[in-house]
Amino acid sequence: MQQLSALGIDLTSLIVYLVNFGLIYVIVGKLISKPIIEILEKRKLEIETNLTEANKLREEMVAEKNKFETEKEKIRAEFDLELEKFEASIQEKTRLLDQENQKIREDIIQKAQQEQKQIKENIFKIIQEDLINSYTVIVSKVLKDRASEPVVIESIKNSWENFKSKKL
C-alpha cells in the first residue's frame, strides 16, 4: 500500500472511484442505456417499416404511372381516330359544298344566259318596231299619193320578215 502511496494513489480514493464507476456503470447500463437501446431498436424498426412502405408506395406509383401511360396512349389513339374522322367529315362537307356551289353557279349562269337572250329578243323587237315605224313614215311620205298607210305598213312588215328569215 505504501507503494501505491508512493505513486500518489490513495487507496480510499481509489475505492471511492471504483464504487462511483460501478454505480455509474450500473445506472447507465441498466437505467439509461437499456431505454436508449430500446428507443434505437424501435427507431430502427420504424425506419425499416417506413422503407418497406416507401418501396411499396414506389412500386404502386410505378404501376400507376404505367397504367396512366397506357391510358394516355389509349386516349391519344382515340383522339387521333376522332381527329381523322373529323377531318374526313370536313373534307366530305367541303366536297358537298363545292358541288352545291358549282350547281348554283351553273344555275346562275343559265339564268343569266336566259335573261340575256330575253333582253336581246326584247331589244330586237323594239328595234324592229322602231325601224318599221321609221320605214313606214319614210315610205308613206314617198308613196303618199300612190298607196294607203295600212298597205304600206303591211308591205314593210312582210319585207322585214323576209329580210329576217334570209338573215337567220
> 100 or 11: whose pLDDT is higher?
100
Cell 442505456 locates to 33
pLDDT of 74 above 80: yes
DSSP-based three-state secondary structure for 40: helix
Of 3-12, 23-32, 48-57, 116-125, where does the model show the most confidence?
Answer: 48-57
C-alpha cell at 119: 333582253
pLDDT of 168 above 60: no
> 34 or 75: whose pLDDT is higher?
75
Please tell me the predicted confidence (pLDDT) of residue 145: 63
Give the C-alpha distances (Å, rounded to integers) separating 89 from 76, 84, 85, 97, 100. 19, 8, 6, 12, 16
Please tell me the predicted confidence (pLDDT) of residue 144: 65
d(CA 14, CA 36) in angstroms, rounded, equals 30
> What pTM was estimated for this model as a whole?
0.42
pLDDT digits (tens, 9 = 90+) for 84-108: 999 999 999 999 999 999 999 999 9
Burial of 152 (0-12, 13-18, 19+ CB in 10 A): buried
